[in-house]
Amino acid sequence: MTPSHGQRVVAIVVTYQPDLVELACLLDAIRHQVLRTIVVDNGSSINVNRFLADRNEAGIHCLCLGHNHGVAAAQNVGIAWAREQGASFVVLFDQDSIPESGMVALLYRTYQRRTDEGFRVAAVGPRYVDDRNRARASFSRLSGMRILTEDSTTHKDGILADFVISSGSLISLEALSHIGDMNEALFIDQIDIEWGLRAKSLGYQSFGAYDAVMTHSLGETPLCILGRKLLNHSPLRHYYIVRNAIWLMSRSYTPLGWRLYLARMIFVRYLLYPLWVAPRLVYFTMMTKGLWHGLWGRLGKLESY
């Protein structure tokens, strides 16, 4: 199975001010799992193109965008390039992810099994492990009004999920042609959630492949506030988190259960970050700006703040 599907899979790595040692580890890890790799750099001050040229490695193409267009735009550039290469699948990566050996083959196996069962598969994602605390991620889906999380090893053919995180996800170009590319207006946050919910509204289903493993970092050093573990994202990142969540709540394809979940997430962040995490006023200001911009549908990159 591995040689046949490897000839059709293109890896898309999005970078912005990458740690070059980490980037080299990622490229080494995926080298024999895909046919070709495209690195799309979002305007890093580091010369990523020269770094890749010095590696002198066949099968890696680099495209530097000049400035930061956002994660979704960079992913879409890579997807367009993969189409030009005649790929059947893309597998997306953040710069701080490291897939285990054979991960792509395991993702493809889940895709094939679920397709054979009659599912229209949107994306298949790996089980990721936070490389700082070894915490294992679960997969989420809506059941009635409740968000269920599941990480059972008994689902050998893939766990049903409403979305999978973009890094490490295997997506067919055929599905992308029906569902559409990533929403560039969101810029950086909840792009994978939006795409997954949009796909589900069109009759597609995402899956988590528990036996496919990838190490991945989801933020800065985790915080523990009042017994609750939170990702230590910056105030600017919180602007995008709140704005995109508010906007996503207004979409017709976002189920009520997910709207309630997003509303609760915003409330908890308002309750904790401005009170417990410095700079408190900056967190409050950026989150409030995100709230208003989300309500008014003002998306894209925040140019000044």
CATH code for position 87:
3.90.550.10
DSSP letter string, 50-74 = HHHHHHT-TTEEEEE-SS---HHHH
pLDDT tens digits in sequence order for the chain, 305 residues long: 444 545 599 999 999 999 999 999 999 999 999 999 999 999 999 889 899 988 878 889 999 998 999 999 999 999 999 999 999 999 999 999 999 999 999 999 999 999 999 999 999 999 988 777 666 778 999 998 999 888 666 666 789 999 999 999 999 999 999 999 999 999 999 999 999 999 999 999 999 999 999 998 765 667 777 777 777 789 999 999 999 999 999 999 999 999 999 999 999 999 889 988 889 999 999 999 999 999 999 999 998 87
Asked if residue 304 is part of any domain, the answer here is no
Torsion of CA 28, 31, 33, 35, to 10 degrees: 160
63 shares a domain with 138: yes
Asked if residue 173 is part of any domain, the answer here is yes
42 shares a domain with 100: yes
Joined together, the tokens standing for residue 63 give 């495209």
Joined together, the tokens standing for residue 66 give 């000049």
pLDDT in the model for residue 221: 66
CA distance 255 to 142: 8
pLDDT in the model for residue 223: 74
Domain boundary among 163, 186, 216: 216
268 shares a domain with 236: yes
Asked if residue 266 is part of any domain, the answer here is yes
Q: How many domains would you assign to the chain?
A: 2
pLDDT in the model for residue 166: 97
116 shares a domain with 265: no
What is the domain extent for residue 62? 2-216
pLDDT in the model for residue 3: 40
Asked if residue 119 is part of any domain, the answer here is yes
116 shares a domain with 70: yes
Asked if residue 301 is part of any domain, the answer here is no
254 shares a domain with 272: yes
DSSP letter string, 104-118 = HHHHHHHHHHHHHTT
Asked if residue 68 is part of any domain, the answer here is yes
66 shares a domain with 93: yes
pLDDT in the model for residue 219: 54
Domain boundary among 216, 245, 261: 216
Domain boundary among 216, 248, 276: 216
156 shares a domain with 280: no
Largest Cα–Cα separation, the chain: 54
pLDDT in the model for residue 304: 80
pLDDT in the model for residue 138: 85
135 shares a domain with 80: yes
151 shares a domain with 289: no
256 shares a domain with 170: no
The H-or-E segment that residue 276 falls in is helix 256-276
Asked if residue 305 is part of any domain, the answer here is no
DSSP letter for 136, please. B
Asked if residue 302 is part of any domain, the answer here is no
244 shares a domain with 209: no
Torsion of CA 282, 288, 290, 294, to 10 degrees: 180
